Structure formats: C-alpha cells, structure tokens
Amino acid sequence: MTIAVIGAGAAGLMAAVSAAIHNKDAKIFLFDKNPSAGKKLLRTGSGRGNIGNEHQSISCFHGNDEDFYNKVITSHPLSFLLSVFDELNIDITVKDGYIYPRNQQAKSVRDAFITKLESLGNVRFLGSKEIISISYEKTGFVLNTDGWHYEADKVILACGGASAPDTGSDGSAYKLAQSFGHKLITPYPALVPLVCKKDPLFKTSKERMSASVSYKGHTATGELQLTEYGVSGIAVFQISRFVSMDLINGEKPVISINFFPESDSDHVYDMLLKRASSGGRYILNTLLPEEMAKSIIKSNSLDSVDIPSAESIRALSDLLTDYRLYVTDTKGFERSQVTAGGIDTSDIDPQTMGSFLRKGLYICGELLDVDGDCGGYNLQWAFTGGYIAGEAAAADD
Ligand SMILES: Cc1cc2nc3c(=O)[nH]c(=O)nc-3n(C[C@H](O)[C@H](O)[C@H](O)COP(=O)(O)OP(=O)(O)OC[C@H]3O[C@@H](n4cnc5c(N)ncnc54)[C@H](O)[C@@H]3O)c2cc1C
C-alpha cells in the first residue's frame, strides 16, 4: 500500500509516523512544498514549542461542529498524546500548565519526528514538492506537482490553514479538499493582534501589562500590549477569533479592557479615593505604566486639579475597568497564529479523520474548521488528528 501525506507540519509528521508504525509494509511519501519539514513548528511558542496544555476543556477548541472535535479529543485525550511523545523520546516540562519539550526548543520536537521517521525506514520525505492537484483514477489517487505525478492508494491532507503564509501554509491547499466536494467554511485569522480606532492609549505604544480583555461574553486575562495600531498580547489573542469572525460578517466590534483584572469598578474606586486623599493627582503612580497613566489622567482632565473629586474618581475607576476600544481590523493572516474556519468537518469521520466523500482520503490539522486557544491546543489538535488519520490510512481495507 502507498500512502501520500501532503504537508510535513505537526499534523503531517505525526500522520506519517503513525501510518509507518501501524503498517510496516506500507510505503509512505511525505510531501512538503518547503525544502525541509516543520517550518511553522519551529516558530511555535517563540521557538520553545508549546506542544500541549495540562488544562483540558472542550471550550479551548472552536469550530462550527463541537460534536466533531469533542469526539476526536475525547477518544484520544492529552494522556494519549503524551504517551506518543514518550515513544518519540520527547521529554516534557510543564510551566503554569503549558507543556513544552524539556529543553524548551521547538526544533528538538521536529527533530524527534525526523529521527523516528528515519528509524522506521518506510517513509520517504519529498521536500520542495508542492502538490498542485489530486485526482482519483481507477488505480487510485494521482498527485500532481509541477512536472511530476505520483500515485497513491491513500492520501492524507495535512496542509495547514492560511496563517503565517511564509511558512508554506498559505490557504492554497483548501482547493485540494474542495476538488473532492469538501465545503470550505470561510477562513479568518485567529490568535491575532487587533487594529483599533485611534485612542489616547496608543500614544503610549509598546507598553505591556496584565489586563483582562472582554468581548461578547468572552473574557481573557493575561498580557496586554499597546501598540501604535491597537492591541496585542495573549489576552487579546484569546478573544480575537470572536472579534475576527464578527469583522468578516461586517460588524463593528467593541472590546472592553479591565486594567485591574482582579477588581471591579467599586474596588478600584475605593483604592483610588484613598490614594487621592494622600497623593493628589498622581493616583495612578505605580499602578499602571507611567506614560499610560499620564495619558489617561490627561485625557480625563485630572492633570489640572490637585485633588480629584469623588465624582471624577468614579468616572476614572469605571473607565479603567471598562475601557472601550473600537476594533476596525485584525493584523491579518500574516500576523495570526491560527486560522479559524477551514474545511467543513461535517463530511469527516471523527473516528478516522476519513472523508465521507472520497474513500481513502483523510484530512487533519489546521486545514479543518477547528482552532484552539493560545496555550498548546493547536499543536495538540494537529498532532492528535495526524495520529488518527495515519493509523486509519495504514489499515488494510
Ligand atoms: C508564530 C506562531 C506560533 C505558534 N505557537 C504555537 C504554540 O506554541 N502552540 C500551539 O499549540 N500552536 C502554536 N501555533 C499554531 C500551530 O503552529 C499550528 O496550528 C500547527 O502548526 C498546525 O499544524 P498543521 O500540521 O495542521 O499545519 P502546518 O504546521 O501549517 O503544516 C502544513 C504544511 O503543509 C505544507 N503544504 C501546504 N500546502 C502544500 C501543498 N500543496 N503541497 C505540499 N505541501 C504543502 C506547508 O508547507 C506546511 O509545512 C503557532 C503558530 C504560529 C504562526
């Protein structure tokens, strides 16, 4: 049996390993348009490779069909993935629930897969080979590259989404699945910085602080970065898919920032009132980055009074716990870490990642309409789906 895996990212590497382990007689070809495997994997977790997360909840994954990804994740939970990592000699370390390779080098995860593939002996990596089209003939699948064609009994599509297109996953591979009748749910950037309408806060660009960011019932707490164009940082990333989705639907999203994530307005009011009676107008000193505090004080005309009134302190505490920003855009696929939307999962079997539309075709990873929160969930999704697809494709039928 010949199995073609298209895409040597997290999902494709795992699919190739899984197929090779489950069927030692199968010949497996692993294609990538890049000369080497795992270009995006090397960038993950700022080069440290956040490959999973101890905190597991289905609410950390998103897509149109919760039942689908729930079945995939519950049939192959994190504990299963960790046992596969162990077989691949990927030792792990955990920091605040975030799982990394022990040496905190994403490259070593990629290299562990390559070492395993070499030792298995029945996988051939074909780099710098972009699959342009696939057809299904009487003899099986025919994969076309520029000038060459390859034949395969089974095909695993693991071509990624449209985010960070310079890594190779630029959205051009959706058409490979679509050519077999699979529907595409409009892809949009997620885990992405947000561009906002001009605001006095942005004068203080490049400030970083802890804050919570809310949008339509979704709240995330973590680092917030103020930039010259808007906001970034983990807290923004976590809610960005919901904002991004509404932007493509023509809505005008407004996000709310609480600069005191542990407190509400009343609590902040009490604290600022106490500070005002002892320290006058510098009531935000040490609470927020200096430039930002000055900008907020100035925009509320508090710099012209020695002791702010209780009324203006109330207005200030309301503002600091519910600071509204008007989002006009995202920084696009170029700056997004994952793609929301993708190939519709209603035509995919969650037990095998097999296509209901074409026997012998499997689809996994970010190419599908499933995305995860920041924190290791996207690699978990890619690795898990890759494993299932590889095992199923390797089975004789
Ligand atoms: C900067 C950055 C940091 C990230 N950090 C994390 C993190 O720490 N933790 C986490 O969980 N997630 C992280 N992610 C997200 C995560 O990297 C992706 O969700 C995951 O890599 C997707 O895996 P994949 O195999 O589905 O796709 P990809 O890794 O994108 O791999 C797809 C491969 O297919 C190849 N390909 C595409 N089309 C073709 C074709 N037609 N022919 C041949 N080859 C093709 C591409 O070249 C690519 O190598 C990060 C993403 C970015 C951009």
Residue ranges, the chain, pLDDT below 70: 204-205, 279-281, 303-306
**Dihedral of the CA atoms 233, 236, 241, 243 (nearest 10)?**
-140
163 lines ligand 1 (CB under 6 A): yes
Query: What one-character DSSP code corresponds to residue 160?
Result: -
The DSSP element (H or E) to which 248 belongs, if any, is helix 234-248
Does the global pTM surpass 0.75?
yes
Return the residue whose CA atom lies nearest to atom 5 of ligand 1: 44
Per-residue model confidence (pLDDT) at position 149? 95
305 half-sphere exposure, CB direction, 13 A CA radius: 15
Return the residue whose CA atom lies nearest to atom 22 of ligand 1: 366
Order the strands of the 140-144 sheet from edge to edge.
Answer: 133-137, 140-144, 149-152
Closest CA relative to residue 318, chosen from 371, 259, 278 = 259
Question: What type of residue is 47?
Answer: G
30 lines ligand 1 (CB under 6 A): no
Closest CA relative to residue 57, chosen from 280, 380, 339, 302 = 380
Whole-number Å distance, alpha carbon 293 to ligand 1 midpoint, is 39
**Dihedral of the CA atoms 33, 35, 40, 46 (nearest 10)?**
-160
DSSP-derived pairing of the beta strands 361-363 and 154-157: parallel
Return d(Cα 242, Cα 256) in angstroms, integer. 13
Whole-number Å distance, alpha carbon 269 to ligand 1 midpoint, is 46
Whole-number Å distance, alpha carbon 263 to ligand 1 midpoint, is 38
Residues 6+ apart with CB under 8 A from 15: 5, 156, 158, 362, 364, 386, 387, 389, 390, 393
Token pair belonging to 362: 């499997």
**190 forms bridges with which residues in the sheet?**
338
Mutate to test the pocket of ligand 1, among 81, 149, 337, 368 (most ligand atoms within 8 A of CB): 337
Return the residue whose CA atom lies nearest to atom 10 of ligand 1: 376
Beta strands in 191-246 (DSSP E): 194-196, 208-215, 218-226, 230-232
Architecture of domain 2-188+341-394: 3-Layer(bba) Sandwich (3.50)
Q: Where are the domains of the chain?
A: 2-188+341-394, 193-330
Whole-number Å distance, alpha carbon 101 to ligand 1 midpoint, is 18
The DSSP element (H or E) to which 377 belongs, if any, is helix 377-394
What is the helix, strand, coil percentage profile of the chain, to 5?
40, 25, 35
Whole-number Å distance, alpha carbon 10 to ligand 1 midpoint, is 6
Return the residue whose CA atom lies nearest to atom 6 of ligand 1: 44
Question: What type of residue is 285?
Answer: N
Return d(Cα 110, Cα 65) in angstroms, integer. 30
Name the 3-class secondary structure at 292: helix
Per-residue model confidence (pLDDT) at position 308? 80
Task: Give the model confidence (pLDDT) of 18-71 as tens digits.
Answer: 999 999 999 999 999 999 999 999 999 999 999 999 999 999 999 999 999 999
Whole-number Å distance, alpha carbon 312 to ligand 1 midpoint, is 49
